[in-house]
Amino acid sequence: MKIYLAGPDVFLPDAIEIGRRKAAICERHGLTGLYPLDNSIDLAASDASRHIFLGNEAMMEGADAIIANLTPFRGPGADAGTVYELGYMAGRGKLCLGYCNDPAIYADRTRRFTTVSEQDGRLVDAQGLTVEDFGLPDNLMMIHALELHGGPLVLPRERPADVWHDLSAFENCVRQAAARLATVS
Amino acid sequence: MKIYLAGPDVFLPDAIEIGRRKAAICERHGLTGLYPLDNSIDLAASDASRHIFLGNEAMMEGADAIIANLTPFRGPGADAGTVYELGYMAGRGKLCLGYCNDPAIYADRTRRFTTVSEQDGRLVDAQGLTVEDFGLPDNLMMIHALELHGGPLVLPRERPADVWHDLSAFENCVRQAAARLATVS
């Protein structure tokens, strides 16, 4: 089983090393991890971003499943590129798994970035925009997509000291994918 | 042609009214707009968020196209729920169109929320995470997905005074969808 390894991990200073660690965990469980930075791209080319997109899309097409890292990135919620990929894989009917190294609910995460108050019975941010308040860790579309197209979002009991390098929740997803493979074959 | 109207518009104080305005624009162009809040959901039910998800997914299944509002929401980039839906519709092979009422490039948007500096030849934020620097308005996955699965992201020349209520860029997308319909039939 080939697993597309989606996440803002590609934006870390040690992006390549974390990809290697994730692929090694997959291998230990009899799976093959496909990591976006495995594609060789000429970053100096004027259309580099288009090549990255095409490489990622081809990789997703070749994968049986996705494990999405939905740890909050530059705001209260998950990285947009990762979320796009999760949606794409759900649309393609592939197995969707995900984890998030911050177990806080979305309303509490939002409070770290803006003032949240109650107005006419709904939670709103400083701009007056509704803050989702269903007790979920992120936007309901991703949370329920995982439940219905794969398995529930994996969360640690407590936020690990290093949210970008702790791979326990990731390995939990890999174990789930390996168990599915065993059931199917 | 049925168009799924995706966007953080559902989080506005006048969410229902903006949905009506969008549907009326679709109608003027001979199209049917499907707006998430058209689904009737009992928000007091304990599994309300799951019902919202199922309603939205069914609506997307019934639609031929999506017009995604990718105006930055609670951070430098688009709303995660909208991005998930764009990915899902791309994965389902539907026509993908989108607009954004903020023409600034992603690196400049990020500067509004965090310190951006150069480190070892790449732009990084205060956490040391890479800031995408391809001169695009948002994460490359959405920008190139639109190009390749529908039409390029529609941006205004200048940021309108009211980014949440100006529907010129939205109407441009509706016109594109109507033109496709004319070509197909």
Nearest CA to CA, how far is B20 from chain A (Å)?
18
Q: Which of B56, B86, B129 sits opposite A11 (nearest CB)?
A: B129
CA dist A86 → A28, A37, A66, A74, A97 (Å): 24, 17, 7, 18, 9
Assess whether A96 and A121 both reside in one domain: no
* Interface contact A84-B141, CB threshold 8 A: yes
**Contact of A83 with A96, CB cutoff 8 Å:** no
* In the predicted structure, residue A183 carries a pLDDT above the cut 80: no
Assess whether A28 and A72 both reside in one domain: yes
Interval A58-98: pLDDT, tens? 999 999 999 999 999 999 999 999 999 999 999 999 999 99
Three-class HEC string of chain A? CEEEEECHHHHCCCHHHHHHHHHHHHHHCCCEEECHHHCCCCCCCCCHHHHHHHHHHHHHHHCCEEEEECCCCCCCCCCHHHHHHHHHHHHCCCEEEEECCCCCCHHHHHHCCCCCEEECCEEECCCCCECCCCCCCCCHHHHHHHHHHECCCECCCCCCCCCCCCCHHHHHHHHHHHHHHHHHC
Q: Which residues of A touch B54 (CB under 8 A)?
A: 144, 148
In angstroms, how far is CA A135 from the centroid of its own chain?
19
Which residue pairs from B15-21 have beta carbons closer than 8 angstroms and sit at least 24 positions apart in sequence?
Answer: B15/A130, B18/B164, B18/B165, B21/B167
Domain annotation covers residue B166: yes
Domain annotation covers residue B94: yes
Domain annotation covers residue B78: yes
Q: Which of B8, B54, B86 sits opposite A87 (nearest CB)?
A: B86
* Interface contact A15-B139, CB threshold 8 A: no
Domain annotation covers residue B142: no
pLDDT at B121: 87
pLDDT at A182: 76
Q: Which of B54, B84, B136 sits opposite A86 (nearest CB)?
A: B84
Q: Which of A114, A120, A136 sits opposite B49 (nearest CB)?
A: A136
Assess whether A64 and A148 both reside in one domain: yes
Assess whether A129 and A74 both reside in one domain: no
* Interface contact B83-A79, CB threshold 8 A: no
Domain annotation covers residue B175: yes
First to last CA, chain A: 11
pLDDT-based confidence at residue A39 (cuts at 50, 70, 90)? confident
Interval A122-158: pLDDT, tens? 999 999 999 999 999 999 999 999 999 999 999 999 9
With a threshold of 0.95, does the pTM exceed it? yes
Domain annotation covers residue B134: no
Mean pLDDT computed over every residue of chain A: 96
Interval A8-30: pLDDT, tens? 999 999 999 999 999 999 999 99
- In the 8-state DSSP scheme, what is residue B130? B
Total domains in chain B come to 1
Nearest CA to CA, how far is B168 from chain A (Å)?
21
Assess whether A114 and A40 both reside in one domain: no
Q: What percent of chain A has pLDDT over 70?
A: 99
Interval A113-127: pLDDT, tens? 999 999 988 999 999
Q: Tell me, what CATH number does B163's domain have?
A: 3.40.50.450
pLDDT at A59: 98
Assess whether A125 and A176 both reside in one domain: no
pLDDT at B40: 84
Q: Which residues of A touch B19 (CB under 8 A)?
A: none
pLDDT at A185: 55
**Contact of A56 with A39, CB cutoff 8 Å:** yes
pLDDT at A28: 98
Interface test with A, best of B74, B119, B125, B164 (most A CBs within 10 A): B74
Assess whether A6 and A29 both reside in one domain: yes
| Continuous segment of H or E residues that includes residue B68 | strand B65-69
Cα separation, B87 vs A32, in Å, equals: 23
Q: Which of B53, B76, B144 sits opposite A74 (nearest CB)?
A: B76
* Interface contact B85-A141, CB threshold 8 A: yes
Q: Which residues of A touch B91 (CB under 8 A)?
A: 87-92
* Interface contact B74-A50, CB threshold 8 A: no
pLDDT at B39: 85
Local mean pLDDT, 10-residue blocks, chain B (185 residues) = 97 97 98 93 90 97 98 97 98 98 98 94 95 97 98 97 98 96 70
- From B50, which residue of chain A is nearest by alpha-carbon distance? A144
Assess whether A79 and A37 both reside in one domain: yes
pLDDT at B185: 55
Assess whether A10 and A49 both reside in one domain: yes
Domain annotation covers residue B59: yes
Assess whether A14 and A26 both reside in one domain: yes
ipTM over the 0.90 cut-off: yes
Q: Which residues are within 8 A (CB) of B58 and not within 5 positions of it... i.e. 6 or more apart?
A: none
Q: Which residues of B touch A111 (CB under 8 A)?
A: none
Cα separation, B134 vs B144, in Å, equals: 12
What is the residue range of A123's domain?
104-136
Domain annotation covers residue B89: yes
